[in-house]
């Protein structure tokens, strides 16, 4: 095993994002009365996170392939 671990967001960022999202949901539902605002923002946040994880996974695969190629030389 290479000891590589998947990238993670710091816990403080997750807490900040969760609190910010809850505030936005409460604004969207109570004041603007548009629940779809909250859903769209949630989908945008989740999709951005998944794309970030995908890019890091591809980088890890490329790095592993590079190490395999270097070890064969």
Question: What pLDDT, in 10s, does the model give residues 17-73?
Answer: 899 999 999 998 898 888 898 899 899 989 998 998 899 889 989 999 999 999 987
pLDDT score at 10: 84
pLDDT score at 5: 64
pLDDT score at 3: 62
Q: Are 9 and 19 in contact (CB under 8 A)?
A: no
Q: CB neighbours of 70 closer than 8 A, spacing ≥ 6? A: none
pLDDT score at 2: 57
pLDDT score at 44: 93
pLDDT score at 1: 47
């Amino acid at each position: 095993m290479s000891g590589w671990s998947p990238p993670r967001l710091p816990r403080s960022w997750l807490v900040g994002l969760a609190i910010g999202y809850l505030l936005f949901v409460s604004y969207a539902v109570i004041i603007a009365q548009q629940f779809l605002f909250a859903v769209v923002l949630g989908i945008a946040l989740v999709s951005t996170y998944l794309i970030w994880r995908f890019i890091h996974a591809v980088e890890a695969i490329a790095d592993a392939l590079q190490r395999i190629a270097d070890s064969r030389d």
